[in-house]
Amino acid sequence: MFVNKAAIANDVHGQLTWGGAQAGVAAGVGLAHQQSLFDGDIDSLVLIVAVWVNPSADNEEEVFSNNRDATVAALKQARDAGPDLNQALVAMTNPSNPYFRTA
C-alpha cells in the first residue's frame, strides 16, 4: 500500500508522487527480491509505505532513484531486525529530524 504523506500541491507534484515515487518503491521491492532479501513465500507479505515527496521537487528521475534506494535500504534494515537496540535507545533520548530538534 502506497500512502502519500504530503498533500498533492499541483499537477507536477502529483505526477512525481504517483509516478516517480511509486515506481521507485516498486523498483526497490523488485531489487530487494532479486537480492534475496525475502525468505520463503513473498505472496504472504504486505508492504505499507508512507512517502513524502517535496512539493517543490521537479526531477522525476531523482524522485524515482531516491525512493528505489530508500525502499531497498528499509527492507534490508527490516530483514536485519532494524537498528541496533543501543543506537535506537540513544536516538530516542534526543530525537530530531529536519523539522524538529530537542532543546
Residue 31 maps to which CATH number? 3.30.230.60
Residues in the chain: 103
Residue 17 confidence (pLDDT) above 90: yes
20 or 97: whose pLDDT is higher? 20
Q: Which residues, 6+ apart, have CB-to-CB distance to 62 below 8 Å?
A: 20
- Position 103 confidence tier, pLDDT thresholds 50, 70, 90: low
pLDDT of residue 29: 95
Number of domains in the chain: 1
| Amino acid letter for position 85 | L
**The model scores a pTM over 0.85:** no
pLDDT at 31: 96
Average pLDDT value for residue range 38-57 = 89
3-state helix, strand, coil in the chain (%, to 5): 55, 10, 35
52-88: b (≥16 Cβ within 10 Å) or e: ebeeebeebeebbebbbebbbebbeeeeeeeeeeeee
- Show the cell assigned to 41: 513465500
Amino acid 85: pLDDT: 77
Q: What is the overall mean pLDDT for the chain?
A: 90
